[in-house]
Structure formats: structure tokens, C-alpha cells
Chain A
Amino acid sequence: MSEPNHARRFTAIWIVASLIAVPLVIWVMGPELPPGKGSVQAAEHVTDNTVLVAAATPVFLMVVVYLLYAVICFRQPKGAALEGPAVRGNVRIQTWWIGVTSAAVLALAGFGSVELLANYGSGSGSGPSPLTVPSGPRLPVQVIAQQWAFTYRWPTYGGVETPHIVLPANTTIELNVTSLDVIHSFWAIQLGVKADANPGVNNVAFVKPTKRQSFEVRCAELCGIWHGNMFDTGHVVTPAAFVIWIHEQQRRFASVTKVLPPYSKTYLPEPTRRGG
């Protein structure tokens, strides 16, 4: 038969396409991937995103090149009614496929787990007592979500509560996220932070902003009709500027701070209409 060696041709096309695409993905697309390098955690997410895109690219190309190859080379000739070869499987290919996909999946799962634990939850809400905690001093900030705004309490600054968030650069921040009513989710987009706010639960996330910047805060869990409008702009400033800002806040809200309930990990409102 004069039929070309389809397997070899397909493999060659796929490998060439992957050799072109993967470096492009790593060095051209990778640095541009969200969420940017606003914090140590966000920078890690860029790396993780790059690794995943680089791993997914050859898989994507394999199936797409295969489909295109099949569509072009394995057509039914016009007007003909030919049958294909009656091949019902190939144990060797199947075994290799199972082995390779399992190995790839295990490697990715291992990589994800290590990245998660090594980065102290990688900016995600990790529950009231996270498994890994960064050493050294941290600035605790409480994020209190309610319909439809976030407010922030600063236990190391007299428990003052502020309507906006300003963070010092190059400082490990310990976010304690909780809610007063329904489930919300605190998302600081450019910092790579997301933590659900559940009523009666303290959800801790660690983040270390690396440069002066503005960042967007949005609610990422449907919380009622004004969910879409639950956003704010936060700022990362130098530690000196932060101290000036927080002292200004302490002065400004001194009369409010006096009547606030004492600082606590959660504030459980009495349920309005519950029986015993």
C-alpha cells in the first residue's frame, strides 16, 4: 500500500507544534498572566499559571492536531461508501496512555499541593487554624463582610474599624475574614487573595504585598441583590505611610471605636426569628 505512515506524520506535526508553542507560552505569555506580581502570593500564582498552561499546551495541541489530521486525511471519498479497518483497540497504546496520564496528573497534584502548603495557603482562605503559618511578625487585619460592604478592624491598633483597606508593603498580613450575615468572599484581585466570609467562622489568609499599588476588592460569592456593587479600592503604601494613615483613622473613628463590641474572631448576630 502506498499509504503514508500516518502515526509518524502526526507525531512529527504535534512535536513541532508543541516545541514552538510551549516556549512561547512560558516566555511570552507567562509573564503577562494574571494576577500580576502585586504580592508574594500573586507572583506564585503567575508561576503556577505558567506551569499549568505549559503543561496543558501539548495536550491541547495533541487532540487538536489529531482532530485536524483525521478530518483532512481520513475522509470518506465523495459518493463512496467505504468502511474503515475493523480495529477494536490496542492494548499497548491504552496501557501507555493510562500510565502517562496518571503520571502527569500525579505530578500536577503534587506540584499544586507543595505550592499550596509552601506558600501558607497561597493567599486562599485556609480556615481558623491554617496548617502552615509564616514565621516572623505579622500584621493582623480583620475583614468583616456584611450586605453589601467590607469593613476592616485592626486589633493591634486599638480595635479601630475602617471602611477602607490600606496595607503596608513588604509586611506579612494575616487576614481574618468573617461575616455578619450571609456568605461573602473577600477577593483582593491584584494581591491574589480570596477567602470566603462565613457567619460565625474565622477564615485566615496570609498575603505579603511587595510594592506600592492600588488593588481592587470585590465580593466573589453571591450575597444578595447588590453583590455586584460590593467593591472597593485598597492601597498598598510604605510602612511609614501606613502608620500615619492608621493613626489618622484611630483619631477619626475614636468615638465609634468606644461603642464597638470588643474585638473578637467572630461576631455572631442573634438570629432574628429562631425558636429554641
Chain B
Amino acid sequence: MNTTTAAETPHPVPRPLWRRLIGFNLLTAVLLGVGGYYLGWWIGHLIGFQGSFHYQTKSDENDVSLLLGYFFGVAGFLIGLGFANYPASRLLGRPASLREKEQEGIGRYFGLCTDHKVVGIQYLAGIGVFFFVGGLNAMLIRTELLHDTPTVVGPNQYLSLVGMHGSMMMGMMTSGILGPFANYFVPIMIGARRMAFPRIEALTFWLLMAAGFILVSTIFFGGFPTGWTGYEPLNDQAVMGMDSYIMFFALVGVSMTLLGLNMMATIMTMRAPDLPWSRLPIFVWSVFATSILMVLAAPMLIATLLMSALDRTIDTSFFIAGGGGSSYLFQNLFWFFGHPEVYILALPGFGVVLELITVFARKPLWGYRLAISGMLGVTLLSFFVWQHHLFVSGINADLRPFYILSTEIISVPTGFIFLCVMGTLWKGRISFTVPMLFCLAWTFNFLIGGLTGVFLSDAPVNTDLHGSFFVMAHFHYTIMGGLIFAFFAAVYYWVPKMLGLRFNEKLAKWHFWLMFIAFNSTFLPLFALGMEGMPRRVISYAPRLHTLNVWVSISAFVLGFSMLIFLFNVVYSLIFKREPAEANPWRSKSIEWQVPTPVPVENFPGDQLPSFDFEPYDYGVPQLPGGGTQPAPAGA
């Protein structure tokens, strides 16, 4: 293992290109990744030829090989990036490798970098790519559904598209806001110069990228027919492409757990000395609540997928009824993770919206403590509702009144967030900037998402709606209408700080209005489709539903087009018409807007941290002659 000492790193003379390609970088990582993959594949086949397993009779199917291939591939990829350098040199008693320390230049975005700001931008780009792939899948799904019988793609490809779209969005986008924005801004907001575990921070990103790649690679192995839920025993029956799903989601689970741990540790231990919990920005609180969910829920997913992998490879019977297992077990375990998971997606959106409306309504956050209790309430309750996903399954049917109650109670803390949004807008001075438009749209979308959730939580009505397009519309309203709208609010609000650019305002407004109208035009009719009897994930549907489906597909294409406007705006504002951003274009009083653009490596210039001895969101508070602010009125 090569370790570079501190003395070697800063090279005054630029080295030739061929020399710079050798070392721990993305190229080495890809090479070692491919090498590791073939090593695992080879070992898997050695095991297969011993004849102790049955799979080799299916000549082209070897789940052991593929899973080992992925495993060694990911290990090689991470070693190539240099993740083993630090532990290895410490184990060997050598000084810590400084290979991954912050450096200048564009190269740091393509390798292991422990600067939380670099990781934030890496996340933004990486997740953006996979979000785009997931969106393209959705376009293909809607193209197929233009007709009520299989036409464009076959049923196998269709289900693979559905599964990839779902897994991509539910897996990669778990870090949609935490990845880019929490990594970038939480340390600044709490007055820290770095995250608690910078190497783990970088690891979460590169694990996620490896996971995304593995999910896409499923198309080479026949795809997978189960959708993002991966239900057994269909999972056990599926071809090798299923292993891609298992490995993908397990890696996402590891990434999520580590990300959550890192965020929790950072927020708990690295706050500025004069920043108590009671004055943390609300976005930091939402990140904290999300992290709790990630740390407690994601390991359940990893364990469940391990059982699936064992069922598929060495023929255990966790989920096989004929072998003594239970198909219910997978559903229970999966949703014990899966329901907190949807709040992992929703909660950061709460934080972004509450954080941003204060700036654009020019008012302090109304009901700060209520908002925190709302988020923590959702966090706690989300672990007690999972069996509403099994309302018609027949397991624990007598417990349904409890799950009706627990599920409906979760709308109480969610309602807190709405009250805080409404209270903050009250008598504010609202300016309709693009981020604010996205926040207001979030309020509308999440309202519909929340209210339709009440229908689904009501077990009698749920009988008709379960597994139908109604469910699909509901969670697209909470996740796309919630998370993605909040994500774009955050992009338009914070990216000018991160990249030092100014988005074209006109294109941004076009993006917003087109996206908002097309989103509602796409997903509102889906409620009707579900109620009228269209099950989820079907390639054929009743001919009487054809007209509405064509309407939905066309709206979905417009929605996809609105994303292209955004993409064009990014390229245009980043490359063609680069206008440097002002340091604080929104006149925000939050600390992250007070640091210079670009943000220095150590976040705060000089040795001294700025003072955090003020209430957050001091809008509308008259400045006192002494430079301080009026003591905030007590309450809430």
C-alpha cells in the first residue's frame, strides 16, 4: 500500500500527465473496480463448480458470482479511490496519509476529497445524473402506457423500467437534500470548519455512486421484475438482475446509515460554543431528525436484503413458505425500513421550506419549537405505522384499528409544519423569487399528498385504493411534490452560493411554472385512475381508462421537458453566460450567506469563528444602536 507523506504532497512543479494518472484517483478506482468484479465473478464460478449448489444447472445463472463480483468490484473501486490508505497506514503504525486532504483545482471533484463543500457539490452532480436517469425511465413508462396493451417495450423491460425508476428515486434521492445541501451547509450553519467524520462523508458519496451504477447494470443481467419493494418470493424467482437490486439497495443502506451517523455526530458535537440547540437553524433540525431515521431504519434494510441474497444464493428459506419461511416476513421487515424511508425523503423538505420562507417573507420563523416537535414527532411515529402497507395482506388483520390510529396521528405533527408555514407567511413581505415559488408549490403539493394519505390510512377505503394508482399518485405528491420541489427550491436558493453563479431568472420561472402545472396535470388524474380500478405497475389496463392515461402521459412529457429547461439553465448559467453571484443575493440573515463566495476551505476566514449569539431569522427586528438586536419576544 502506497502511502504518501505530508512532505511529498504539495508539488511545486506540475508533474507530467502520465504521472498524474498513476495513484489513487478515479481512473485507478474504475480499473480496480472492474478487476475486482472479475475476481469476484471467478471466485463465484469456482464455488459453483464444486457442485454443492443447484444453480449451476441453470447454465447462465450464477447469483453467487454476480454478488461476489459486485462486492469485490465495490471494494476495488473504494481502494482505488484511496479509502484504504488512511486505515492501512495507521494499522501499519505509519503517520496518517494526507492523500485525501483538501487541494485546489477541478481535480478534487473527481476523487476522494474530505472538504465537505466539495462533497456537497459532488453529491449535487452525482445525484443529478441518476435523477435524470430515473426521470428518463419514467418517460419510457409513460410512453408504454400511451396504449392499453404492450406496445413499445415488452413486459419484462417494462417491469425493469418500473423497478429502476422506483429504486433510483427511492434509493438515490434519500440523499437528495442531505447529500448536497446538508453536507455543504450544516457545518457552516453550526459554525464548524468540517464534518465530524470527513472520510466517512466522502465514503457515503462514492458508495452511492457505486450503488447507482450497479442498479443501472441490472439491464445487462435481465432486469428485475419486483419494483422497488423487491417482494419475496418473486424476488427469489427472478433472474440475476435481481442481485443488482439487492446490492444496490444494500449499498444505499450503508451509505444512508453512515451519512446519518456523520450528520448526528456533527450536529451534536461540532456546534460553535455559543450556539445551543435552541437556536439551531430549522434546516439543521430537519437534518438531525432525518439522520435519526437513517441510522435506525437503514440497517433493517441491509439485514433484509442479506436474507434475500442468502435465499437466492445458498437456498436458505427465510421467505419461502414451502421451506418454512414466510412471504410476510419480507413485507414486514421491508416496510419497517420502508415507511421511515419515505419520511427520510420528506423531512429534509420540511426543513428547506421552513428555512426559506423566513427569508422571502422577511419574518422570523413562526413557531420554531412547534416545527421542531413536528419533525421529531414524525420521526418517532414513523416507526409505528408500517403495517398499513399490509392492510389487505391478511397478517395481523385484527391490529388494523391500531395502525389506522397511528397512521392518522402522524398527520398531527405534519400539521405543525403547515401551521408554521402559514404563521410565517402571515403579514409577511413576500417576494416571489424562484425558491419561494417552489416553497409555496411545496405547500400545495404536500397538502394534497397529506390529505390523500388520510384516505389510504382508513382501512375500509384503503380496500379499494391499496396497490392502485391512487397510492402511486399519493406518494408522488409527497415525494416528487414534496422532496423534489423542496430540492429545486434549495437548488435555486443555495447553488448560487455553492457554485458562485447566478441562474437565469426567466428560464428559472419557466421551469417552475411548467413543472408545477405539468406535475399537477400528471398526478391529479392518477387519483381518479386508481379509484376507477387501475393497479400499479401494470403494462395492460382496462380500455375504459385509456383517454385519461393518454392525458397523463402527455402531461408527464411536459413535466420531463420542464426538467430539460432546468438542465439548459444550468449549462447556460454555468458555462455560456457566467455571471458571478453576489455574496448574498437574497438579503438572508443566515450565517451561510455571511461567509464569502467561494466559501474558503476552512469556511470562516481567519482564526475566529463569527458570533452565533443571536436568534435565528432576525427579520423585522429593529437594529439597536449598539449593533445587537432586540431581545426576541418569548413564546412558542
Q: Which residues of A contact B (CB under 8 A)?
A: 6, 33-35, 41-42, 44-45, 48-49, 52, 55-56, 59-60, 63-64, 66-67, 70-71, 74-77, 80-91, 93-94, 97-98, 101-102, 105-106, 108-109, 111-113, 115-117, 119, 121-128, 130-131, 177, 181-183, 185, 187, 189-190, 192-196, 198-204, 216, 218-229, 231, 268-271, 273-275
Cβ–Cβ contact B619 & A84, under 8 A:
yes
Q: Taking each of B427, B461, B635, which has the highest tally of chain A beta carbons within 10 Å of its own beta carbon?
A: B461
Cβ–Cβ contact B587 & A81, under 8 A:
yes
Cβ–Cβ contact B429 & A84, under 8 A:
yes
Cβ–Cβ contact A74 & B327, under 8 A:
no
> Cα distance A74–B400 when bound, in Å?
44
Cβ–Cβ contact A122 & B619, under 8 A:
no
B316 contact set on A, CB distance < 8 A:
275
In the complex, besides A228-B538, A274-B317, 19 extra interface pairs with C-beta distance below 8 angstroms are: A34-B532, A52-B455, A56-B454, A60-B448, A60-B451, A66-B422, A76-B430, A86-B633, A87-B423, A89-B367, A97-B416, A98-B416, A112-B460, A113-B459, A122-B460, A183-B393, A203-B393, A224-B225, A224-B237
Sort A-B residue pairs by CB-CB distance and give the 6 closest, nearest first. Answer: A89-B636, A228-B538, A203-B394, A200-B321, A271-B322, A84-B363
Segment among B337-345, B464-472, B488-496, B511-519 that sits at the interface with chain A: B464-472
Cβ–Cβ contact B536 & A222, under 8 A:
yes
Cβ–Cβ contact A116 & B633, under 8 A:
no
Q: Known contacts A94-B636, A98-B412, A122-B463; decide if A116 and B620 are in contact (CB<8 Å).
A: no
Is B182 on the interface with A (CB-CB < 8 A)? no
Cβ–Cβ contact B233 & A181, under 8 A:
yes
Nearest-Cβ distance from residue B112 to partner chain A, whole angstroms? 39
Nearest-Cβ distance from residue B465 to partner chain A, whole angstroms? 9
B502 contact set on A, CB distance < 8 A:
none
Count of chain B residues with a beta carbon within 8 Å of a chain A beta carbon: 110
Q: Would you mind naming 27 contact pairs between A and B with Cβ atoms under 8 Å apart?
A: A6-B427, A34-B531, A83-B619, A84-B619, A86-B619, A87-B364, A89-B368, A97-B415, A113-B404, A113-B405, A116-B404, A123-B460, A181-B237, A183-B327, A187-B467, A192-B463, A194-B463, A194-B466, A196-B390, A199-B321, A203-B394, A220-B466, A225-B159, A228-B535, A229-B540, A271-B320, A274-B317
Q: Known contacts A124-B460, A198-B321, A199-B233; decide if A83 and B362 are in contact (CB<8 Å).
A: yes
Cβ–Cβ contact A269 & B322, under 8 A:
yes
> Cα distance A192–B460 when bound, in Å?
9
Contact with A along B342-367 (1 / 0, CB 8 A): 00000000000000000001111111
> Cα distance A124–B621 when bound, in Å?
56
Is B557 on the interface with A (CB-CB < 8 A)? no
Cβ–Cβ contact A89 & B366, under 8 A:
yes
Q: Taking each of B150, B232, B393, B412, which has the highest tally of chain A beta carbons within 10 Å of its own beta carbon?
A: B393
Q: Known contacts A84-B363, A94-B367, A222-B227; decide if A74 and B415 are in contact (CB<8 Å).
A: no
A126 contact set on B, CB distance < 8 A:
394, 397
B394 contact set on A, CB distance < 8 A:
125-128, 177, 195-196, 198, 201-204
> Cα distance A182–B531 when bound, in Å?
25
Is B323 on the interface with A (CB-CB < 8 A)? yes
Is B632 on the interface with A (CB-CB < 8 A)? yes
> Cα distance A108–B405 when bound, in Å?
8
